[in-house]
Structure 1
Amino acid sequence: MTELLEVKNVSKSFGENSVLKDVNFSLNKGEILGLVGENGAGKSTLMNIIFGMEVIANTGGYNGEIYFDGKLIDFKNPIDALNAGIGMVHQEFSLIPGFTVAENITLDMEKTKSSVVSKVFGKKLESIDSKENIRIAGDSLDTLEVSIDPNGLVSEMPVGHKQFIEIAREITRDDVKLIIMDEPTAVLTETEANSLMSALQKLSSIGISIIFISHRLREITSICDQVVVLRDGEIIEDRRNENLSIEDIARWMVGRADSSSKTREDIAKKELDQNDTIMDIEHLWVDMPGEAIYDVNLSIIRGEILGIAGLAGQGKLGIPNGILGTYPVGGRIIFNGEELQLGNTLEILKKKIAFVSEDRRGVGLLLEEPIFWNISFNAMQVQEKFIKNILGFKFRDEAQMRKVSDDYVKSLAIKTTSSDQKAGQLSGGNQQKVCLAKAFAMDPDLLFVSEPTRGIDIGAKELVLEALKKSNREDNTTVVMVSSELEELRSICDRIAVICEGRIAGILPPDASAEKFGLLMSGEKEVSNV
């Protein structure tokens, strides 16, 4: 095999914080390299260096050498990397919401057609060939084996579809030699993820190399030719994928087994009063593009952890988003014996209902504000916590805000320089933990969490799930958890409701067989077991 990429003795520091330490590895042409490590291990920084992200040059550059296709490189911006044949699919989307799918996929690569005017005055006056661009976009989506309308607006697409659109854009480039994929399956269902795995293997077979970053270790072992493990900025292991086990990789990453393999048997059974419901949902409908629900009826038992499972596009995300007023909603919801005023988010939050959105950057965080401000903001605005009264005037109690935030930074192991660091500077997994802390700070009676471990490594996942269990157990918080990870739900929940085609298909105990869950997800009728 011929080497495409060689990283030699690469180190990087941000101030006094050493992020990468003498990193060495190489990648062959047409192979898939799995890059794994906990959040904060240095994966994103390493990829930013390779892709020429300007944050690297703006913070003093890096030490070491990188060779790409036989040439020493030191890209100062992503345009240089794209021109050299390197594409990157970031964990957070970089799509233009007001553009169509085809326009996003072919952006800066549009095919044009000549006219009488352009023949006289030059190519710059050629018009865009919309039909050809739609065809090209459709071909790229077909390669990924996903059904998405090239004419649809990106703003109306569910999160899972946006991820495929990002990937389709990169494989559309004519001269692409290497694609860096940062958690591309984090928002995908198992079926979608399997389709993507198949597509990546096709790309590999035609000579395109891939750096594949994923916290789903089964994906790493299933498609990667080589596995590189980063821990605290250092390469711990660099091996060919020959007889590697998930347990091996998990141990190298964090020194402990994959907590996702735990079953409900590990958790003490709670005694719940089936007649004591904290919330009754009646004929709920939510107009959330790509995740609409049509007629949901569900009772939530006080003190339980209720899971909501289902395939992408079936409506599981619509339930919490509708109840909290993110999208148009109708129906009837009774909370603690009182009917909620649907669509009035502030009044609903005042009832001690909290929500951790699946869209942490778009909905969950104030990216330009410090961590302590993010964690305390909702509690301050909605519940008037962290306010002190001096001579009749109200002031923010920043000392108390910092104390509470520091407690959550410690308990959730948020990797940060201090609670004064801006939320937008954190890794995706640590941003998710800030969102969770923000909800906990409100001391909710009922907490909705959507995809709480999306893009989080296995060590952080264990902390987040344990935090939810602790809040449920010690603070008597009723938790409703929406997740694409069925095994994750089975490890923590008392009951799991399965949604299909915008309705509850059934409710199962966490120890029900995978076949029963599969039947409900596929639309087969089955009477609730709970």
Structure 2
Amino acid sequence: MSNETPLLRLEGVTKDFSGTVVLENVSFDLAAGEILGLVGENGAGKTTLMSILFGMPVIRETGGYGGKILVDGKEVSFSSPFDALDAGIGMVHQEFSLIPGFTAVENIMLNREISKPGIISDVFGPRMRTLDRKTMKDRAQSAISRLGIEIDPEMKISEMPIGHKQFTEIAREIDRERVRILVLDEPTAVLTESEAEILLAAVKKLAQTGIAVIFISHRLHEIVNICDRVLTLRDGKSVRDIPASQTTIEDIAVSMVGREVNTAARREAGRSFGEPILSVDRLWVDMPGEIVRNASFEVRQGEIFGIGGLAGQGKIGIPNGIMSLYPAGGSVMFKGKPLPLGNPRVPLLEGLAFVSEDRRGVGLLLDETLEWNIAFTAMQTQGRFLKSWLGGLFTQRDEKAMKELADEYIKMLEIKCTGSFQAAKELSGGNQQKVCLAKAFCLGPDLLFVSEPTRGIDIGAKSIVLDVLRRVNRDQGTTIVMVSSELEELRSICDRVAIVSNGEIAGILDPESSQADFALYMAGIRHEQSGKENPGNTALEGRTP
């Protein structure tokens, strides 16, 4: 750092919620054109710190904060995100804030629409001007092009693959004329490796133009590769601020959790399984942004079955279709009986459960307590946590049982919260994900779909989630189908891994297969075409991997 006044400085920032300190005396500088990596476990205070910087209303509504924020050496206090935007601070949140029914252009240019005069406006005034859609499209396309990605600017957000939504979010921020500081919260969490590489290259180019970047990610290799400095938060305190060139992934992990971390659970050798519990034949799913048109596979009783593949190729669509969250067809057999498609209640009644990749949109009741979130589905589908009176004429929630269960899962999953009474919306993203898992475990399913269970959570929390999935599989006999963009994670925990390409199961591999084998299948190149045996065929014949 030079002796020049930093573009951004935080001095002794402190924040508490209802007496619980979540940030304590956090300080750092950020220079123009610098990329600062911000790391920490879920609940360490990263999101709260960025909410303070961006003037989010929740900070003001909960008593404000202590300390100072200075931009160009002058103290600022933002009462709303609009104040932060006016000061040149842009932020891409972990959860999408796009309007699904709008196109990419309309989202990128939202509140900055360009109008043009016409005959009517000449007569009735400037309020009657019409949108200059061509100029807006050109400007949006320019922002997209700066990211090095191709996106149809006229495509609606609801029809986009999830990776394209992320690029649209970022394009919207960099289109702002005065943006000087850009906060990226887990920008690559939903991207494939190739998309992530494109984004990282774009971030470096933006920094070269003088834009300062705060880059929050749990993919520590990205932090080391792209950032100039790495700031670690732990339990609300800044415990380490070091040049990226002077640290390693292992050192960062230890600084985050205060202990050495086993980054990957390992599957147990010599496992054996029962007959197929789930048989899927020629499944198609009509889910925006996902291609599922001819997927066939079997899952055996007691195994952990992985589904991977590139974004938009169908891996996310498969569980959403089987759980009837989107229109689907084909044949699905569960426990030897046909599973009707089209009614989301049926799979739950038959013994399936689903942890969705969309934890905020599908997984949680954000305004409700943790105990209510965890027990709600079991209460609705299984009649649990209800006490009957007068022969069933009246029912009442069993608040005590709900609290005991919530406390049990909070302990098991190490959910960082103030208690089971806390609202789900107040938790960090990773802890919200753990609540979604607890809700599914509460159902005691025979088969559990988990979609992107570790997306956007830190390295320590990943280890906890993967270990809990293994324990539930081993101790309760729950068959698990895990869908993930993290191939190494699938290989570390699954007994077999199916790769989806172009809406079909391209192959089913043993996790010990080479990286090249996985790459061939993800690229849609079958092993038969290169003279190799398809390991997925032998696996489907019932032999233990």
Q: Do the two structures share a fold, i.e. TM-score over 0.5?
A: yes
The aligned counterpart of 1:283 is: 282
Secondary structure of the corresponding residue to residue 291 of structure 1 = coil
Of 509, 528, 534, the residue aligned with 1:528 is 534
Structure 1, gaps ≥5 residues long: none
Alignment of 1:4 onto 2:7? yes
How far apart are residue 122 of structure 1 and its match? 4.5
Structure 2: which amino acid aligns with 1:231? R
The aligned counterpart of 1:482 is: 483
The aligned counterpart of 1:52 is: 55
How far apart are residue 268 of structure 1 and its match? 2.1
Secondary structure of the corresponding residue to residue 167 of structure 1 = helix
The aligned counterpart of 1:112 is: 115
Per-residue CA deviation, residues 387-435 of structure 1 (Å, 9 max, x unaligned), is 2222213322121111111100111111111111111111111110000
Contact 2:275 2:301 in 1 (8 A): yes
Secondary structure of the corresponding residue to residue 7 of structure 2 = strand
* CA distance in 2: counterparts of 1:69 and 1:126, whole angstroms: 38
How far apart are residue 12 of structure 1 and its match? 1.0
The aligned counterpart of 2:185 is: 182
Contact 1:118 1:126 in 2 (8 A): yes
Change (3 A) 1:196 1:257: farther
* CA distance in 2: counterparts of 1:302 and 1:231, whole angstroms: 41
Per-residue CA deviation, residues 55-84 of structure 1 (Å, 9 max, x unaligned), is 111111111111112321010100001011
Per-residue CA deviation, residues 118-150 of structure 1 (Å, 9 max, x unaligned), is 345544332211111111111211222222211
Of 128, 131, 152, the residue aligned with 1:149 is 152
Contact 1:272 1:302 in 2 (8 A): no
The aligned counterpart of 1:448 is: 449
TM-score between the two structures when normalised by the length of structure 1: 0.97
Secondary structure of the corresponding residue to residue 189 of structure 2 = coil
Structure 2: which amino acid aligns with 1:86? I
Alignment of 1:206 onto 2:212? no
How far apart are residue 243 of structure 1 and its match? 3.2
Alignment of 1:137 onto 2:140? yes
The aligned counterpart of 1:14 is: 17
Structure 1: which amino acid aligns with 2:458? D
Contact 1:272 1:301 in 2 (8 A): no
- Equivalent positions of 1:368-387 (< 5 A) are 368-387=367-386
Contact 1:263 1:490 in 2 (8 A): no
Per-residue CA deviation, residues 415-465 of structure 1 (Å, 9 max, x unaligned), is 111111111111111110000000000001100000001111111111111
Contact 2:265 2:463 in 1 (8 A): no
The aligned counterpart of 2:96 is: 93
- Equivalent positions of 1:413-424 (< 5 A) are 413-424=414-425
Structure 2: which amino acid aligns with 1:528? N
Secondary structure of the corresponding residue to residue 164 of structure 1 = helix
* CA distance in 2: counterparts of 1:50 and 1:427, whole angstroms: 17
Report the RMSD for the aligned CA atoms in angstroms.
1.3
Contact 2:162 2:312 in 1 (8 A): no
* CA distance in 2: counterparts of 1:226 and 1:286, whole angstroms: 44
How far apart are residue 258 of structure 1 and its match? 4.6
How far apart are residue 256 of structure 1 and its match? 3.4
Structure 2: which amino acid aligns with 1:373? W
* CA distance in 1: counterparts of 2:261 and 2:124, whole angstroms: 63
* CA distance in 1: counterparts of 2:271 and 2:101, whole angstroms: 50
* CA distance in 2: counterparts of 1:467 and 1:47, whole angstroms: 30
The aligned counterpart of 2:26 is: 23
- Equivalent positions of 1:174-323 (< 5 A) are 174-260=177-263, 262=264, 264=266, 267-273=267-273, 276-323=275-322
Secondary structure of the corresponding residue to residue 523 of structure 1 = coil
Change (3 A) 1:395 1:270: farther
Per-residue CA deviation, residues 14-43 of structure 1 (Å, 9 max, x unaligned), is 121111111111001011000000011111
Q: Percent same amino acid at aligned positions? A: 55
The aligned counterpart of 2:343 is: 344
* CA distance in 2: counterparts of 1:250 and 1:324, whole angstroms: 36
* CA distance in 1: counterparts of 2:296 and 2:260, whole angstroms: 38
Structure 1: which amino acid aligns with 2:106? E
Q: Which moved more, 1:38-47 or 1:388-397?
A: 388-397
* CA distance in 1: counterparts of 2:439 and 2:324, whole angstroms: 18
Alignment of 1:159 onto 2:165? no
Structure 2: which amino acid aligns with 1:403? E
Q: Which moved more, 1:391-400 or 1:275-284?
A: 391-400
* CA distance in 2: counterparts of 1:36 and 1:247, whole angstroms: 13
Structure 2: which amino acid aligns with 1:342? L
Alignment of 1:469 onto 2:470? yes
* CA distance in 1: counterparts of 2:253 and 2:492, whole angstroms: 18
* CA distance in 2: counterparts of 1:116 and 1:46, whole angstroms: 50
Secondary structure of the corresponding residue to residue 190 of structure 2 = coil
The aligned counterpart of 1:507 is: 508
Secondary structure of the corresponding residue to residue 362 of structure 2 = helix
Contact 1:306 1:479 in 2 (8 A): yes
Contact 2:41 2:458 in 1 (8 A): yes
How far apart are residue 186 of structure 1 and its match? 1.0
* CA distance in 2: counterparts of 1:6 and 1:142, whole angstroms: 31
Q: Which moved more, 1:18-27 or 1:117-126?
A: 117-126
How far apart are residue 116 of structure 1 and its match? 3.3
Alignment of 1:358 onto 2:361? no
Alignment of 1:33 onto 2:26? no
Secondary structure of the corresponding residue to residue 236 of structure 1 = strand
Contact 2:265 2:466 in 1 (8 A): no
* CA distance in 2: counterparts of 1:348 and 1:390, whole angstroms: 30
* CA distance in 1: counterparts of 2:534 and 2:190, whole angstroms: 28
The aligned counterpart of 2:542 is: none
The aligned counterpart of 2:70 is: 67
* CA distance in 2: counterparts of 1:352 and 1:203, whole angstroms: 49
The aligned counterpart of 1:173 is: 176
TM-score between the two structures when normalised by the length of structure 2: 0.94
Q: Which moved more, 1:354-363 or 1:142-151?
A: 142-151
Contact 2:353 2:449 in 1 (8 A): yes
* CA distance in 1: counterparts of 2:123 and 2:293, whole angstroms: 56
Per-residue CA deviation, residues 71-106 of structure 1 (Å, 9 max, x unaligned), is 210101000010110001111111111111110011
